[in-house]
Structure 1
Amino acid sequence: MTKFEFNHLVNHHSVSLRSYALNFTKDAEDANDLVQDTMLKAITYYNKFKEGTNLKGWLFTIMKNTFINNYRRLVKTNTLITQSEDISSANLSYSATKNQAESKFVLGDIDKALAQLPEEYYVPFIRYFEGYKYHEIADMLAIPIGTVKTRIHVARGILKKYLKTYSKDIAISEMV
């Protein structure tokens, strides 16, 4: 099967993909995004499809896995955001919502700390923070997965050193 024929067959399933996506997302715009991501992945990896097997099932599997991965990224990102809010609110004298000036100061320090990272550490760290997995980052940057893990570890160390004043506040507030 040629790539053109494959693309045509994938396009033929777009209506059923959209209704399947609506079951996951419960939102029309998110469903359209999920269908688009699914079709893009299917077309990108069409050589992995075994001709003679169930194309619709293969597409639905891609969609389900894409939705799960996106959900995990969202949960992870929200968890990381919650943790940074904990730093600026629970561990300082006022919460971030009550004292926006203090919150801006903390976020400014975090931005400065991130700016201190050399690009080779910054890019993998930010990708990891955005919810990408190690192997995805390695593929994006065309570097070994071990290098990705090392760079993220080093970036964390640099950030810990730069933001150590906040870790002392955390330790003191936990003791009280």
Structure 2
Amino acid sequence: MSTIEFNQMLLNNAEFLKPFAATLTRDNEAAKDLFQETLYRALANRDKYNVGTNIKAWLYTIMRNIFINNYRRRSKQSVVFDNTPNDFLLNLNQGAVKNEAIANINMKEVQEAIFNLPEIFKNPFLLYYDGFKYHEIAEILNEPLGTIKSRIHFARKLLKTHIERF
């Protein structure tokens, strides 16, 4: 099959790929990119097309494989979106000096606030603070899991009201 014949057959049978690309990606721009990449790969690999086979199935397979490979590639990458304002960069040249005395005072205030909690909230919170999981705390204190979660939640709320400047 000549290059012109293959190109003509490709153009005649490529339109069904657009809705399929939109279904796969659920994004108009990504669908356009996927469609273009599929046509590019089909043209680049026209020597692998067997004359007489279903061109639509061949193109469908190419598109599906590109989509799957791109999905796998994206899932391995960790993407973090930073939507925070960058106002803090305005005074970037100002140096911050770490003051351990203030940090120690702040930590003492936090510990004092924890130990001033009612016993019903303090015990589960201290276990959680020490690194135990909710279900482990529930087993240790012989309480239902939901009770432990709510007590830790209320302990956090009480601490937040006692220590407002943090």
Structure with higher Rg: it is: 2
Which of the five TM-score ranges fits, normalised by the shorter chain? Answer: 0.3 to 0.5
TM-score (norm 2): 0.47
TM-score by length of 1: 0.45
Richer in helix (by share): 1
